[in-house]
Amino acid sequence: MSLFRQYLAQRLLASAVTLLGVSVIVFLMVRVLPGDPAQVLAGLLASEEEVARLRTDLGLDRPFHVQYAVFLERLLHGNLGRSARTSQPVLEELKPRLRATLTLAVVSAALATAAGMTAGALAATRPYSRFDYVLSLATLFGVSMPTYWLGLMLIIIFAVHLNWLPAAGSEGLASLILPSLTLAAFSVALIARMTRATMLEVLGQEYVRTARAKGLGESLVVARHALRNALVPVLTVIGLQFGALLGGAVLTESVFGWPGMGLLLIDSIFSRDYAMVQGIVLVFSTLFILTNLVVDLLYVAIDPRIRYA
């Protein structure tokens, strides 16, 4: 167990180093972008003095390394600075946005996992059947459909023509349905394909034949022996997909006016709100790193052959 703890400590340390690297890159990246935040913020009608005052106010007149030192020092105290656009602490602005994005991503991931694995497993047990072909076609659609287009189509069908669901916003459960379906579409398809492929491979293994030979029912063979062994690669895809879901949230959120971090990120980039962009990218990176860590730990739970020690 202590070996496991050591492994965990190593991983966490490596994560911290990665985040430090991310902080440097994002800090430089926003500043390399052309455009003066003070000018953008003040608007076209502002006078030169107002713009200059704003620049000083935001600390943009200081050299890069001083700005980074300030940023890093604050970061170590858990302070992400203040948004230039809203004058509010970035952390305060981020909390409700993070909640919204996570809600969307988690619901979509759950949806994608349940639907994707079920469909994939079913297809694997009936390879080259009609169901299998339909599924291949559906997953092809799923991976190639642009999020933006799919989102608008769902809005037109379910909000405009049927008037069953809200077209935008985040009031109540109903408003979660269309954005999470849109966001899940790509991952469902990918997870279904991955599950089908690994399941097909596993179903051809000798231990599966043994299980069948000893008289186990087909459903038990699939659920207990095949699916479990097929889970490791599928889990990897799900883990990676969760990261992709967070990224995909940027488009989905803007189509559905979902008040999450993706939407905020776009607004912040277009207004060159450095502190906000840095904060969002750091939060996204942290989530990504944590997801990977959790996936690695889950391997142990699923496959007793994997040991981190």
Partner 1 sequence: MRTHRTRRFLSPLGLAALAALMIAIGAGPAGAAGTFRVAVGVDLDTVDPAQMTTTTVANMVDYVAETLTSLGPDGKVSPWLAESWTVSPDGLIYTLKLRKGVTFHDGTPFDAKAVKWNFDRLKDTQVRVPIRAPFPIKETDVVDPSTVKVTLTKPSAPFIAALSWTTSALVSPASIDKQGNEYKNIVHTVGTGPYVFKERKKGESFTVTLNDKYWGKKPTYDTVVFRIVPEAATRESLILAGQVDLIVLPPIADLPALQRNSALKVLLAPSDRTIFISLNTTKSPLGDVKVRQALNYAVDKKAIIQNVLFGAADEMDAPMAPSLFGYCKAGNYDYNPDKAKQLLTEAGVKPGTKISFHHPTGRYVQDKEASQAVAGYLREVGIEPELQTMDWPTYVSIINAGPAEKTVHQLAYLGWAPAFLDSAMQAFQFWSGYHPPAGLATSFYKNPSVDELILAAEKETNADKRKALYCDMAKQVWSDAPWLFLYVQRFPIVYSAKVADVGSLPNEKFAAIYARPTN
Amino acid identity, position 143: V
Among 4, 16, 25, 35, binds partner 1 (CB under 8 A): 35
Q: Min. distance of Cβ 102 from partner 1 in angstroms?
A: 15
How open is the CA angle 23-28-32, to the nearest 5 degrees?
155
The whole-angstrom separation of Cα 103 and Cα 116 is: 19
103 contributes a contact to partner 1 by CB under 8 A: no
Residue 287 sits in the site that holds partner 1 (CB under 8 A):
no
Min dist. Cβ of residue 44 to partner 1 (A):
6
Which residues, 6 or more positions from 170, have their beta carbon under 8 angstroms from its beta carbon?
100, 176, 258, 259
Instruction: Rank residues 169 and 247 by Cβ distance to partner 1 and give the closer one.
Output: 169
- Asked whether 95 and 280 are in contact (CB, 8 A), the reply is no
d(CA 75, CA 57): 19
Q: Which is nearer to partner 1, 125 or 291 (CB)?
A: 125
In angstroms, give the least distance from the CB of 48 to partner 1.
5
Mention every residue, 6+ apart, whose C-beta is less than 8 A from residue 75. Answer: 23, 282
C-beta of residue 74 within 8 angstroms of C-beta of residue 81: yes
Q: What angle do CA 269, 272, 274 make, to 5 degrees?
A: 95
Tokens standing for residue 35: 């455009």
Between CA 249 and CA 239 the distance in angstroms is 16
Please tell me whether residue 174 binds partner 1 under the rule CB under 8 A: yes
63 touches partner 1 by CB under 8 A: no
Among 168, 197, 216, 293, indicate the residue that binds partner 1 (CB under 8 A): 168
Residue 152 is a binding residue for partner 1 (CB under 8 A): yes
- Letter string b/e over residues 268-293, b meaning 16 or more CB atoms within 10 A of that residue's CB: bbebbbbbbbbbbbbbbbebbbebbb
The count of residues interacting with partner 1 (CB under 8 A) is 66
- Binding residue (CB under 8 A) for partner 1 from 22, 26, 54, 222: 54
d(CA 91, CA 264): 13
Q: Tell me: does residue 240 bind partner 1 (CB under 8 A).
A: no
Apex 286 CA angle, 271 and 40, nearest 5: 5
- Measured from the CB atom, the residue of 117 and 235 that comes closer to partner 1 is 117
Q: Provide the token pair at 153.
A: 């189509």
| 181 binds partner 1, rule: CB under 8 A | yes
Our finding on whether 283 is near partner 1 (CB under 8 A) is: no
Which residues within the stretch 69-88 sit at the binding site for partner 1 (CB under 8 A)? 85-88
Asked if 118 touches partner 1 (CB under 8 A), the answer is yes
Closest CA to 138 of 156, 152, 155, 150: 150
The 188-217 contact track toward partner 1, x by CB under 8 A, reads x-----------------------------
Cβ within 8 Å of residue 84, ≥6 positions away: 37, 41, 58, 271, 272, 273, 274, 275, 276
Nearest approach in angstroms of CB 211 to partner 1 is: 26
Binding mask 255-274 for partner 1 (x = CB under 8 A): xxx-xx--xx-xx--xxx--
Positions in 132-151 near partner 1 (CB under 8 A): 134, 138
Residues in contact with partner 1 by the rule CB under 8 A: 33-37, 39-48, 50, 53-54, 57, 85-88, 93, 96-97, 100, 114-115, 118-119, 134, 138, 152, 155-156, 159-160, 163-170, 172-175, 177, 181, 188, 254-257, 259-260, 263-264, 266-267, 270-272
